[in-house]
Amino acid sequence: MPRDLFIYNTLSREKEKFQPLVPGHAGLYVCGPTVYGDPHLGHARPGVVYDVFVRLLKDLGYKVRYVRNITDVGHLENDSDSGEDKINRKARLEELEPMEIVQYYTIRYHQAMAALNTLPPSIEPRASGHITEQIAMIQQILDTGMAYEINGSVYFDVERYNREHRYGILSRRVLEDLQTNTRTLDGQDDKRSPFDFALWKKAAPEHIMHWPSPWSEGFPGWHLECSVMSSKYLGQVFDIHGGGMDLLFPHHECELAQNTVTRGEHSVRYWMHNNLITINGQKMGKSLGNFITLEELFSGKHPLLTQAFHPMTVRFFILQAHYRGPLDFSNDALVAAGKGLKRLLQARLVLKKIPVQEGLAASDTLAEMEEKIYRALCDDLNTPVALAALFDMAGWIQATSDARKPIAPQDRDVAERIYDRVAEGILGLKEETAQDHLPLVEGLIEMILELRTRARSRKEWSESDRIRDRLSDLGVKIKDSKDGTDWEF
């Protein structure tokens, strides 16, 4: 039996004990990126948070199916149903096939997620790959009377739905209040009510991405794909649905309504939402000049940054905050995070040098820290508390080393296990290795060759030969000539 895990369920606004639908298995659906632009800070947080959550579930013994979609069609401008498809617009600007843009940015997204050491999801379905299934679900919703067709488009009837169910149950919004505070439509749309949302949109003739359907040549509404793909790969009812707070309304509210009509109430058992990132206290936005892509972050090429930040620093920075809490990004905060991560990982090297003495009694300290870490992680993924305990352990290691005391084999084993299973395994933190050590290798070899030349000038031939042999052992072959010394691997 896995250890108890508690998850804050947005639906109930309470921490609840996770009880999987199928014992030993966990199904998770997370809203993935819309691939019409470079991955940015806003993608990093859910990427890392749900990665740690999946790693925790696996560590606890669950067999996890982690589904994260790629929105490659149907995401309408400004989350309203007017305006053209964002991907489509970019396609025409660049005179490219939309799917070329999708391919380009999907690869960029995957590269950034890999740099952040997130594991790929088990399944990564695409909206454009599930048109058949989306059409089938629209028909199903039409059959219940909860949607209506008008001029080739199909809309979900929110008022009708709200009479039988509760629209707003997830985001705690009340439809009547929303309606009071919203101006009426300006007639550009066919919808009966401003809160109705598109299930299928008839494509204008110039619209590139479209498919045949019983209603028109068109494209599916954005909210639909997640209802369709989550049920297809996880089942009519499944365990956990995650995503960013920005998706709570209208996206997840609409998804829940679609689910309820087609799959009944409680189709998703736990809804998780990560909070958003602010930058120097402000919301991130292109117009504010504080929009930072992950490439800019990793290379340091942005006016708000004084240096390049290793992806591991970014990962660590994200985990320093609880996923439901705010996270304010700043250059200084990242610099501090980089130092903290370094300190944490260096204690592991210190640990390796502390002598182990057989027969010494194990202290309770480390076992208590391990328990504290798991308790924190299982308490709604409380990574900051887990990290604090990891730093306590790092401090204990440093103090033990400074005191030049040996440790018991059990203590060493527990500390190693915490580094292996928690720091690296669950939190996914590892050494910030430079991508390419080649320039350093070249510099070091040149240095050694100079030292060897110096030895030869002193006629220390055996020292010179010894250096040559040692280099050879390391796979570096050197060749002396009148012009100096060359080397090669």
Q: Between residues 322 and 452, which has the closer beta carbon with respect to a copy of itself?
A: 452
Residue 191 or 263: the one with the smaller Cβ distance to a copy of itself is 263
Comparing CA positions, the residue from 138, 130, 147 lying closest to residue 214 is 138
Nearest distance in Å: CB 112, a copy of itself: 15
Q: Closest CB to a copy of itself among 135 and 318?
A: 135
Least distance between a copy of itself and beta carbon 138 (Å): 13
Nearby residues of 95 by Cβ (< 8 Å), 6 or more positions away: none
Q: Distance between CA atoms of 390 and 281, rounded to whole angstroms?
A: 28
Backbone Cα Rg of the chain: 28
- What is the footprint of a copy of itself within residues 28-87 (CB under 8 A)? 65
**Nearer residue to a copy of itself within complex by CB, 13 or 482:** 482
Query: Which one of 140-148, 366-374, 419-427, 473-481 is the stretch in contact with a copy of itself (CB under 8 A)?
Result: 473-481
Identify which range of 271-279, 360-368, 383-391, 441-449 contacts a copy of itself by CB under 8 A.
Answer: 441-449
Smallest CA-to-CA distance from 385 within 312, 342, 325, 310 is with 325
From CA 241, how far away is CA 230, in angstroms rounded? Answer: 9
Concatenated DSSP letters for 164-201? HS-TTTTTT--HHHHHHTSPPP-SSS--SSTT-EEEEE
Among 34, 69, 128, 383, binds a copy of itself (CB under 8 A): 128
Region from 132-140, 174-182, 261-269, 295-303 binding a copy of itself, contact rule CB under 8 A: 132-140
Residues written for the chain: 489
Binding test (CB under 8 A) with a copy of itself, winner from 77, 97, 364, 371 = 97
437 binds a copy of itself, rule: CB under 8 A: yes
| DSSP at 248 | I
Q: Taking CB under 8 A as the criterion, which residues in 243-282 touch a copy of itself?
A: none
- Residue 99 makes contact with a copy of itself by CB under 8 A: yes
Q: Does an H or E element contain 30, and which? A: strand 25-30
8, 18, 105, 233: which one contacts a copy of itself (CB under 8 A)? 233
- Contact between residue 318 and residue 116 where contact means Cβ atoms under 8 Å apart: no
Does residue 21 interact with a copy of itself by CB under 8 A? no
CB 153 within 8 A of CB 201: yes
Q: For a copy of itself, which residue of 83, 212, 300, 395 counts as binding (CB under 8 A)?
A: 212
DSSP track, 40-68: BHHHHHHHHHHHHHHHHHHHTT-EEEEEE
396-405: list long-range contacts, CB under 8 Å, 24+ apart.
Answer: 396/365, 396/366, 396/369, 397/347, 397/348, 397/350, 397/351, 397/354, 398/347, 398/350, 400/354, 401/350, 401/351, 401/353, 401/354, 405/354
Q: Is 131 in the site for a copy of itself (CB under 8 A)?
A: yes
Place of tokens 């290793």: 310
The residue range among 13-21, 52-60, 276-284, 442-450 that interacts with a copy of itself, by the rule CB under 8 A, is: 442-450
Q: Which stretch binds a copy of itself (CB under 8 A): 83-91, 119-127, 150-158, 255-263?
A: 119-127
Considering only 143, 440, 461, 465, the residue that binds a copy of itself (CB under 8 A) is 440
Tokens of 341: 């991560």
Q: Binding of a copy of itself at residue 441 (CB under 8 A)?
A: yes
Strand partners of residue 283: 278
Task: Round to whole Å and give the CA distance between 182 and 185.
Answer: 9
In sequence order, which ranges of 272-382 are alpha helices (DSSP H)? 294-299, 311-319, 331-353, 365-378
Longest dimension (CA), the chain: 97
**Cα separations in angstroms, 338 against 310, 311, 352, 471:** 8, 10, 22, 34
CB of 448 to a copy of itself, least distance (A): 6
Nearer to a copy of itself, 213 or 383 (CB): 213
Q: Which of residues 346-365 bind a copy of itself (CB under 8 A)?
A: 346
Residue nearer to a copy of itself on the CB measure, 63 or 417 = 63
User: Do 150 and 185 contact (CB within 8 A), yes or no?
Assistant: no
Task: Give yes or no for residue 121 binding a copy of itself (CB under 8 A).
Answer: yes
Contact positions with a copy of itself (CB under 8 A) in 151-190: none
Q: Considering the rule CB under 8 A, would residue 340 count as an interface residue with a copy of itself?
A: no
Site size with a copy of itself, rule: CB under 8 A: 47
Out of 326, 339, 443, 461, the residue judged to bind a copy of itself by CB under 8 A = 443
Q: Any idea which residue has 């990290």 for tokens?
A: 387
Position among 1, 151, 475, 481 found at the interface with a copy of itself (CB under 8 A):
475
Residue 219 or 374 having the CB closest to a copy of itself: 219
- SS3 at position 73: coil
Query: CB of 320: closest distance to a copy of itself in angstroms?
Result: 22
- Pairing status of strand 277-279 against strand 327-329: parallel
Q: Under the criterion CB under 8 A, does residue 241 sit at the interface with a copy of itself? A: no
Contact status: 90 vs a copy of itself (CB under 8 A): no
At closest approach, how far in Å is the CB of 352 from a copy of itself? 12
DSSP notation for 389-449: HHHHHHHHHHHHHHTT--B-HHHHHHHHHIIIIIIIIIS-------S--HHHHHHHHHHHH
Stretch that binds a copy of itself, among 95-103, 277-285, 309-317, 370-378 (CB under 8 A): 95-103
Positions touching a copy of itself (CB under 8 A) are 65, 97, 99-100, 102-103, 107, 120-126, 128-133, 135-136, 211-212, 233, 346, 433-434, 436-438, 440-441, 443-445, 447-448, 451, 467, 470-471, 474-476, 488-489
